[in-house]
Every structure is written in C-alpha cells, then in structure tokens.
Copies of this chain bind each other. A is one copy, B any other.
Amino acid sequence: MTKKELKKLEIIKTGFFLMKSKGYNGTGINEIIHTVGIPKGSFYYYFESKEGFAIEILNYYADRLLQNVADALTDPSQPPLQRILKLYKRQVADYLDNSSFSYGAFGTRLCQEIGSRHTLVKNAAEKVYKDLIGLHNQCLLEASAKGDIGRDIDTAKLSEFIIYSWEGALMRLNGSKNADSLQTFNDMLQDVVLKRA
C-alpha cells in the first residue's frame, strides 16, 4: 500500500467515524481535515468532492462487510442456519469489542439523508444491500433444500426480512451505548424466525 493510499484510508476512516454520528450534512470538510490534521487542499487532492468522498467511504466498508458475510455464510463446516446465527453472534461480539464495526446501517443512513439527491451514493448503497440479500438467500436456499426450514418458506423474502430486522436493531444502538437491541435481534432470530421457519 502506497503512502498515498494509506493517507486516503486515514481520511476515509476519520470521515466514517464523524459521519456515523453526525450525518453527511452535519459533518463539514473543515471538521474532517482538522481531525486528520491536513490542510484543505490535501483533501481535494485525494478526493474529487464531498460526495465522491462519501462514496469511497461506503465502498471501503461495503467491501469488508460483504467479505465477512460471504465468508460466514458459505462456511461448509456449518449447517446453513448455524452460519446465519453465528454470523450475527459475531457481529454483536464485534460491536461489543469495538463499536466501530456497524457499517451496515451507515449506508442505509447515508441514503436516508442524501440518497434522494445524490444518486451515486444511493446506487452504491443499493448494490451492497442487494448483495447482502443475495448471500443470505443462497444460504437459506441451502437450508431449504436440506429441509432445515419449511420448503414453503419464501427464502428471498425471509432474507430481506432478516436484514430489515438487523438494520432496525442497528438503528437503535445510537447513543444507547449498549448492544441490547442487537442481542434481542439475535434471540428472536434464533427462537422465533429460524427455529420455527
């Protein structure tokens, strides 16, 4: 990784943390550059614009998230439903260790705030969402084929539903400083959704 790439990454990470708690419009370029400790010109040397910057943040974290999820949901050493449960258990554990992780909601939130006008941001976030659904669906199809869930269950819809719930639970953590909502999601996913599906 070149020096330039490292510096970009540092700015991306800082921007992510700031925007995560203050939103896109609530986070100024000046705040970002002061936090990183670079002059204004450097920011625009590394990034084309604020919108381009947001998209780079989105893509950086989306790549990591999708890789994580793909690894977990295709792990051949576990039966499919266990993979899903383990994935979310690990996400909760990761959050407790290091509250930085929760990328998922970042894209959704960015979209809520500015998606209606910044279509590039919206498209980037939309793609991640579609990919996530696809990974879940593949895993659930496998479970369905094995008879681990009712064959009548619409796995595509169930995939979406799981992600809705997860994102809803992520929304609830803001400021609460504990992971109760994530734990509740896990419990219900296990006891209600998957155990009985």
Task: Tell me whether A138 is interfacial, beta carbon within 8 Å.
Answer: no
Output the nearest chain B residue to A168 by Cβ-Cβ distance: B164
Nearest-neighbour CB distance to chain B for A95, whole angstroms, equals: 15
Task: Tell me whether A25 is interfacial, beta carbon within 8 Å.
Answer: yes
Q: Size range of the interface on A?
A: 35 or more
Nearest-neighbour CB distance to chain B for A105, whole angstroms, equals: 8
- Measured between beta carbons, the chain B residues less than 8 angstroms from A175 are 111, 115-116, 122
Which residues of A in the span 146-197 have a Cβ within 8 Å of any Cβ on B? 153-154, 157-158, 160-161, 163-169, 171-172, 174-175, 181, 184-185, 187-188, 191-193, 196-197
- Measured between beta carbons, the chain B residues less than 8 angstroms from A154 are 187, 191
Cβ-defined contact, A172 with B181, below 8 A: no
| Contacts A25-B113, A153-B192 supplied; 17 other A-B pairs, CB < 8 Å | A25-B26, A26-B117, A109-B112, A111-B171, A112-B174, A115-B174, A122-B175, A158-B188, A158-B192, A160-B181, A161-B185, A161-B188, A161-B192, A164-B168, A164-B181, A165-B168, A192-B193
